[in-house]
Structure 1
Amino acid sequence: MANDEIREVTECKDKLHEMSENLVKVVFPQKIRELGELVESDLFRLSRMSEVTTNINIPVPAPVVLNHSDDVDDALKPHAKKRKHDTENDVQGCKVFSLPAGSVSCNKQLTDLIDILKPKICCLIEHCNTLKMWIQLQIPRIEDGNNFGVSVQEDTLSELRQVESEAASYLDQISRYYITRGKLVSKVAKYPHVDDYRRSVLEIDEKEFINLRLTCLELRNTYLSLHDVITKNKDKIKKPRGNNTESMY
């Protein structure tokens, strides 16, 4: 390997080491304070749960009144079932049913909370990735004996991988919320007279609010836990084969 390449690799390692030290010393305490203030703010107070639910703007059509038996016979004919929509609601150029009240919007209050939390979730994933690489570079070459410090490094790496996986699941949870809510809204559009479908939309909104609050709490607790573990075992992480024989916390 050329000298320039060796120097670049060394500079990259030094930069990664500096970034990781700054994460543990400065960034993690800031994140703990920031997320703690957020979860205790008015945005995530439990009494606000009833405020985040919104009624969807799909009107209940007027019932069809049949005055005589001929109308009943016509309504029961098979061809009547094929009339899925009136001509006045037909969008020209494509077979799409146009809702009388226009499009059904998302729950804006929950969407605003999601927009606040998603960057913080992605930030946690990036921080875990940086710390994983830093610890991986601290692992010494394989030798017999005196490997307790290496086991500390491996346990910390395992903890970071688990946190990274859980953070990714928070993003999946947000996607599942939109998919589930969209299916329920479709049911309301198809069966506007069934109040149970309308109620299920409100219930899924309340559930998502609780999930978002718990996600904010988990993010705070995760930063606190990682800061605690890395700080207590920092010597073993940086010098796994030193003379210090203290056990891992």
Structure 2
Amino acid sequence: MPNDTVVKVQEYKDTLIKKAEHLITKCFPEKIVQLNELLATSMFNERNFDEVHQDLNIPALAPVLVKNHSNSDDADGATDDGDHPPTKRARKDVLVSGQPVLALPSGTVPCNKPLCDMIKVVKPIIRKLVEDSNLLKMWISFMIPKIEDGNNFGVSIQEDTLAEIQTVESEAAAFFDQISRYFLSRAKVVSKVAKYPHIDDYRRAVVELDEKEYLSLWLVVCEVRNRYSSLHDIVIKNLEKLKKPRSSNTESLY
């Protein structure tokens, strides 16, 4: 039974090595071309910022006049008990902290549809980069030889390449966090618009946030393409040393 387990583990390693080699030699170049073509489409290229704006569906209601009422029956709030001259009571100002949001009059506030369409395209690309980076990381880890004294130049190349792949994997995972933070930030600003519908700065903040996210999504696709290009370049240039980090010099001695 233990032998069967060892065989299955070795089969897993051999399969992973074959997938990684196919990935770096064929899939990476195809992915780079695919991302270049995606960046040339109308969704990511030649689109004005006006095309990614979204109506908030939060109308500015008619202004409500607020009057301050005193407890006096007189219009000026004066009191007269007969013995003392009339005195004015201290005025109590009404603090308006915003419009209470119980329900939006025009229904829900929609997400930004153009950006959501872009996110649907970008998220699988980010996920694929994370998966490919993880595969390459395990591939190089399996090819690192046992620790020995001397002749570690090829091993250092493996370790440097492995560190670069781990950096790419971490950056790709951070792209997901960037998308979630956009929705959270937008929701906070939209809630401000709902509470203070007459303040145009909050509405403008939503517009600026959408434009920033559009630029960020374009930049994410560019960065993913660049990461595929850099990984393909560094692996292809050092492929011989990655596969055989320790070369044997015995043949040259005879």
- Say if 2:78 is the partner of 1:73: no
Amino acid at match of 1:131: L
Superposed CA RMSD = 2.1
Unaligned runs of 5+ in 2: 71-90, 250-254
1:1-249 equivalence runs, <5 A: 2-65=2-65, 71-73=67-69, 85=100, 97-243=102-248
Q: In 2, distance between residues paired with 1:80 and 1:148?
A: 73
Relative distance call for 1:136 and 1:83 in structure 2 (3 A) is closer
How far off is 1:79 after superposition? 7.8
How far the C-alpha of 1:29 sits from its partner, in A, is: 1.1
* CA distance in 1: counterparts of 2:54 and 2:175, whole angstroms: 23
Greater Rg over alpha carbons, structure: 2
- Assess if the C-alpha contact under 8 Å between 2:98 and 2:196 holds in 1: no
Matched letter for residue 54 of structure 1: Q
Residues 102-143 of structure 1 show CA distances to partners (whole Å, capped at 9, x for unaligned) of: 111100110110111011101100111111111001000111
Contact 1:55 1:202 in 2 (8 A): no
What is the CA-CA distance between 1:182 and the residue it aligns to?
0.5
SS in 2 for 1:47: coil
Q: Which runs of 5+ in 1 are unaligned?
A: 86-95, 245-249
Other-structure match for 2:76: none
Taking the aligned partners of 1:228 and 1:113, their CA distance within structure 2 comes to 28
8 A Cα contact 2:60 2:198, kept in partner:
yes
Deviation for aligned residue 1:6: 2.0
Asked if the contact 1:125–1:164 (Cα under 8 Å) also holds between the matched residues in 2, the reply is yes
- Note the C-alpha offset of 1:49: 2.2
Relative to the length of structure 2, the TM-score reads 0.84
Contact 1:118 1:171 in 2 (8 A): yes
What secondary structure, in the 3-state scheme, does the structure 2 residue paired with 1:177 have? helix
Q: Distance in 2 between matches of 1:213 and 1:80?
A: 45
How many residues in Structure 1 have an aligned counterpart in Structure 2?
229
Name the residue aligned to 2:84: none
Deviations 1:207-249 (A, max 9, x none): 00000001001111110110111011011111000159xxxxx
- Greater Cα shift, 109-118 or 48-57: 48-57
Decide whether the 8 Å contact of 1:121 with 1:219 is kept in 2. Answer: yes
Separation in 2, partners of 1:150, 1:189: 59
Instruction: Report if the CA contact (8 A) 2:129-2:172 is conserved.
Output: yes
Report deviation, 1:190.
0.7
* 8 A contact 2:189–2:206 mirrored in 1: yes
Change (3 A) 1:97 1:140: same
Q: Using a 3 Å threshold, how does the CA distance of structure 1 residues 46 and 243 change in structure 2: closer, same or farther? A: farther
Q: 1:80: how far off? A: 8.1
Contact 1:61 1:192 in 2 (8 A): yes
- Match of 1:9, SS state, is helix
% of aligned pairs identical? 52
Q: How many Å apart are 1:4 and its aligned residue?
A: 1.3
- Rounded to whole Å, the distance in 1 between the matches of 2:210 and 2:94 is 38
When normalised by structure 1's length, the TM-score is 0.86
**1:84 positional shift:** 5.9
Task: Name the counterpart of 2:77.
Answer: none
- 1-side partners of 2:190 and 2:158: how far apart? 49
Shift of 1:31: 0.9
- Structure number with the higher helix fraction is 1
